[in-house]
């Protein structure tokens, strides 16, 4: 049986759109393919819905291909799940695109408006998954500075605006006019973005050392290898520096013991940190047990070996750190791939900043939490963002680089420096403009010392979040509906 062309063309166009994401960063391919996807979209709701779902299937199938990696950590047990996980995620995310096709009978502009609204809703529905938003393809361009005004929603609106004006115009004259408008707008935004941040920000703040032990997930919890990686982090911590660090950051779940049962480890860690002075602290990712429940946490250790502030991750990964709704049956969380033993993690109370003295107030983000813009907007405003993560789960191709790009986007949105320590990489730092302050290579062990820059004044996005974008979308939808009614 011969398949209709749309079953091949739409997924192919969606896959080309995905090439704009890290590590390739071919944003121009996304714009061209998105234009073609909208241009060839059938005019009927049924046809448009099917077409956009197929396009989304190709897009998310390639953009989220890294999602199979966790299942190959223990392939004998979980490997068979990998293709089903990718198909489920790609097909499920594509439903958000398909929803926009239902508005096809009301005109192509409304399709684009609803498309953007559904893109934003992806960050909320079923705990949310705003990975691979269309606007993320612009993170490595000067246009990323627009995120300080409207976040990832505004960047996605730019991509959709190009596709809508060029792909949905009914005449060649309309397409030429749309091309001229978009070229002018993009050129102005590009110049503004390129000029927004200084070429070199003064590096005069306190120094933070980011440690990258490069522990492969297959070896991370092996008893003999875990001790080796722990000693590697101790060596990286104690290495002398011209400008001694005030804080040394170890990645997510970096130590092979529970916070409550450290043995002599805290004293050994404190001795390593004290080589830099009596006030150097260590921030380290650790699992802890409290009242029979496990938490994925970040703890602060002083040079006396005393644990002070502790932050518990509050936005957990469904099926990775817990199984949704399983506690209704088991009366306790049930673990996913990354859960402690057979029991999953419990969520912490919510985002909160840690007072690190001369380093100011740092807002911790543990791994997955950094992909949600709302978790970086708290009051009172922190001085900087601190991410610890274990991207060994994401493989070595696209996952770690896409995660890094989203962390950079959070810095631009909030106008805050962001430093991240990643187990296998990429450990890096960004200032409030999203400009790199230094980074380590993926898949290598080492450390990097970064002088913490000051925070920028609160950005419009830091003040209002997605409210202006939602208000504009509602206004556009109402205006289009009214114009159609009185036509």
Among 90, 70, 93, 91, CA closest to 81: 70
Which of 119, 313, 369, 413 is labelled catalytic?
313
* Edge-to-edge strand list for the sheet holding 436-439: 354-355, 361-366, 384-389, 418-422, 428-430, 436-439
Tokens 């049930």 correspond to 334
Catalytic status, residue 304: no
Residues 6+ apart with CB under 8 A from 122: 93, 96, 128, 129, 130, 133
Using CA atoms in the order 319, 427, 405, 20, what is the torsion angle rounded to 10 degrees?
-90
Tokens 């993926």 correspond to 442
Euclidean distance between CA atoms 363 and 386, whole angstroms: 6
Catalytic status, residue 327: no
Euclidean distance between CA atoms 249 and 441, whole angstroms: 17
Burial level of 179, CB count in 10 A (0-12/13-18/19+)?
middle
Catalytic status, residue 220: no
Euclidean distance between CA atoms 464 and 470, whole angstroms: 11
| Residue 143 backbone zone (phi > 0: left; psi -120 to 50: alpha; other: beta) | alpha
Euclidean distance between CA atoms 75 and 63, whole angstroms: 22
How is residue 370 written in tokens?
């950094």
Which of 119, 220, 321, 367 is labelled catalytic?
367
Q: Which residues are catalytic?
A: 252, 313, 367
């Amino acid at each position: 049986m011969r398949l209709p062309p749309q079953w091949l063309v739409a997924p192919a166009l969606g896959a080309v759109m995905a090439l704009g994401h890290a590590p390739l960063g071919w944003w121009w391919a996304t714009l061209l393919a998105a234009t073609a996807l909208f241009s060839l979209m059938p005019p009927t709701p049924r046809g448009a819905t099917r077409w956009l779902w197929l396009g989304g299937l190709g897009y998310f199938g390639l953009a989220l291909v890294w999602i199979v990696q966790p299942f190959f950590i223990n392939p004998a047990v979980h490997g068979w799940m990998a293709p089903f996980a990718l198909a489920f995620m790609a097909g499920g995310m594509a439903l958000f695109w398909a929803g926009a096709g239902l508005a096809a009978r009301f005109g192509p502009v409304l399709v684009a408006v609803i498309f953007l609204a559904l893109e934003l809703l992806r960050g909320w529905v079923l705990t949310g998954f705003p990975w691979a938003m269309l606007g993320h393809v612009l993170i490595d361009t000067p246009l990323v500075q627009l995120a300080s005004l409207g976040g990832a929603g505004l960047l996605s609106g730019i991509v959709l605006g190009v596709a809508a004006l060029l792909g949905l115009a009914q005449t060649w004259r309309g397409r030429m006019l749309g091309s001229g408008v978009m070229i002018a707008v993009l050129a102005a935004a590009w110049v503004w973005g390129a000029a927004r941040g200084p070429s070199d920000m003064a590096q005069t703040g306190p120094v933070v050392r980011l440690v990258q032990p490069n522990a492969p997930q297959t070896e991370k919890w092996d008893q003999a290898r875990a001790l080796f990686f722990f000693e590697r982090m101790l060596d990286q911590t104690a290495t002398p520096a011209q400008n001694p660090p005030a804080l040394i950051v170890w990645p997510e779940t970096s130590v092979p013991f529970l916070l409550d049962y450290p043995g002599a480890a805290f004293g050994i860690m404190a001795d390593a940190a004290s080589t830099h002075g009596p006030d150097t602290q260590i921030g380290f990712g650790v699992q802890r047990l409290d009242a029979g429940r496990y938490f994925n946490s970040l703890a602060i250790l002083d040079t006396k070996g005393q644990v002070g502030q502790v932050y518990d991750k509050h936005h957990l990964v469904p099926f990775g750190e817990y199984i949704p709704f399983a506690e209704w049956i088991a009366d306790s969380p049930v673990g996913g791939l990354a859960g402690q033993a057979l029991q999953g993690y419990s969520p912490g109370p919510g985002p909160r900043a840690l007072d690190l003295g001369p380093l100011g107030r740092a807002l911790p983000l543990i791994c997955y939490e950094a992909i949600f813009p709302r978790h970086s907007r708290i009051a009172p405003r922190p001085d900087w963002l601190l991410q610890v993560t274990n991207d060994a789960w994401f493989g070595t191709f696209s996952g770690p680089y896409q995660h890094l790009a989203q962390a950079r986007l959070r810095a631009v949105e909030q106008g805050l420096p962001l430093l991240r320590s990643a187990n296998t990489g990429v450990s890096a730092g960004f200032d409030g403009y999203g400009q790199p302050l230094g980074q380590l290579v993926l898949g290598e062990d080492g450390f990097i010392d970064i002088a913490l820059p000051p925070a920028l004044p609160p950005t419009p996005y830091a003040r209002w979040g997605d409210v202006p974008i939602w208000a504009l979308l509602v206004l556009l939808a109402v205006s289009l509906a009214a114009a159609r009614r009185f036509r």
